[in-house]
Structure 1
Amino acid sequence: MAAAGTSLRRTRGLREGLPGVPGGRIDFVTMPELRELGAALYERWRHTQPGAIDRDALWWERTVGEVRTPGNEFKEPFAAVHRDADGAVTGLVVYRIGDKWDGAYPDCKLTVEEFLAHDLPTSVELWRLVLSVDWVARVEVPNLGPDDPLPLLLQDPRAATPHEDNADLMWLRVLDVESAFAARTYGAPGRVVLEVDDKLGYASGRWALEVSEDGTGRCARTTDDADLALGASELGSLYLGAETASRLASAALVTELRPGAAFAADLLLRTPVQAWSPTEF
C-alpha cells in the first residue's frame, strides 16, 4: 500500500498494547522550526530508506512557504514533531484539515502531507495524534511507503484502503555499474553473473555481482558464463530491490540462463524495507 484512506468509524483506532515512547512527547512547531528540525530529521532518515533522495534548502523553503511559486497558493499546515525522553527529534507529521459538516455533525477530512518516524514506537505516538484530532471523520495519506505497517496498527486493518492517487513515481537509471552496486548493501551472500544489454552503452557487458557475509558487495566485469540476461531498464528496476528478478523473468523481461538464477539474484538484492521515495523529482 503506497497510500491510504481510512474511515475512523471503521478503524476503531489503534490496537491495544502497541509500543510507545516512555517519557516522549509531541510538540507542535512553527514553519521555521519545521524547516530546521525537519531537514535534520529527514537527512538521518533517508539513509535508512532505499530509494529516498536528498532534499535541498530550496525544497524546505518552498514546503514551509518561505519561497512561493506563481500559481501555488500556500496555506500553512499543522506540523508536529515527536521527541524522545532526551529531547531528540525522532519523527514528524504535517497535515491539513478540511472544514466539512453533515448538518450539525462534523465530517472533516485530515490529509497527511508528510510523515517520518525513525522507529515503530515513534510512529505509534504520531498516528495516535493523527487519529485523535477532533471533528475528523476520515484520514487520508496520499504518500505512504509501500510496506508501511499503518494498516496493521489499526484495530480493523481493512478500514485502510488504497488511495486514488497511488502511483509509482520512482525512476532510476544505472550509469556506473561498479560504483552503484558497491554503494548499497545486500540481503544474503552469493554470486550471480549478469549479461546487460544497454543500447546507450553505459551498463553494457557481463558483470559478476559478488556479495560477502557482511552484506557488502562488488560488481566487476567478467568473462564467466552469464546467469541472467537483461536490459538496462530491468537493471535499474532490480537495483533498489523494488522489483524481483523472478517476476521480471515470468514477464519475459529477464532471461534465466541458469536454472534458479533469478531467485538467487532476488536473495542477494532484497532489502529490509521496500524502495520508496517520498520526495518527487
Structure 2
Amino acid sequence: MKAVVSQANDATESVEIPRPTPDAGEVLLKVQAATINPVDVHVRSLLKTFGLEQGQPVGLGWDVVGEIVEVGPGVSLEVGSRVAAVQSDGVAKSSGTLAEYAVLPAEVVAEVPVSLDSIAAATLPMNSLTAAQGLDLLGEAAGRKLLITGAAGAVGGFALVLARRLGFKVTGLARASDADFVRSTGASFSAALTEGEFDAVFDAASLGSAVFVALRDGGAYSGVQPGNVPTAERGIGVQAVQVVGDGPRLAEFLRLAESGEFELRVAGSFGFEQAAEVANRLSRGGQRGRWVLVP
C-alpha cells in the first residue's frame, strides 16, 4: 500500500509498504481522509529529543477517518462502519495514518455522524483530544482565568470552546487578524501578553517560559510539547500533554462538531504525490485549518 513516511534525511516521501493486518482488539481501516499535523513535520527532531532516532523511515499521520474493512479477534465493531480515531503509538512507528490503510485499537475509534464530511472530520481527533487532555492537566476550572496561546490554531481553537464549557474565564492570545475568530467562540481576545493576569495558561503555541509573565505566582502551565517543557519558576506548576486515543471522548467531540459548536477548518486536501509539498508548506507555520490527505 502507499504510505507517507519521513526518511532518515528528513525528507517526506510517499512509498510502498506492506498492508497491515489487525491483531486481537484491533480494526483495519481503509483510509478516507487523514490529516497532516505539525508533529509530522518535526518528527525527526522529536525522535532525537526522545533518543529514538534509528535512521529508519517513520510513518506519518495521527488523525484518520476511514471505513472498517477487517476486525481482529474480540472486536464487536461492524465491518463497513465509518469511524474516526487518533493513532497515538508515539513518533517512532513504521506506519501512520497518512496511508491507504491503518490499524488501530478498537477502543480509540468513534463512529462519525452521517452529516459530517470525512475530510472535515479528519481534522478533529488529534487536535480536539490534545486540547481536552491539555486542559485536564490544569485542574478544576472554578471560574479561574485562563489564557490560551495560539488560540486561532487547530488545537487552540478547540481549546477555546472546551475551556469555556468547563467554566474557565477564557482569553485567547492570537494575531490581530484572528480576533473575530477568537471572539466568535465566546472568549475574550488579546494580541499581547499582560503581566500576572492569569491563573493558568494552555500554551498551544509553544511559547514556553515567555508566557510565564502572564501567570500569577503559583499558577498552572500546560504545554503541548512533552520533550520541551519550560523550567518551573515562581511556584508555577508545569506540565505537558501527550495525547492518547479515547474513543468515547472523541465520539462526544464529533457530536459537538455535528451540532456546529466545534468549527472544523480545512486548509485543503492533497494526494500522495503532493505530500512533500504540503509538509513544506506546513513547516512554515501560520496555517488556519489543517491539510488533509485523500488517498
Q: TM-score range by the shorter chain?
A: under 0.3
Normalization by structure 1: what TM-score?
0.26
Q: Which protein has the larger Cα radius of gyration, Structure 1 or Structure 2?
A: 1
Instruction: Normalising by structure 2, report the TM-score.
Output: 0.25
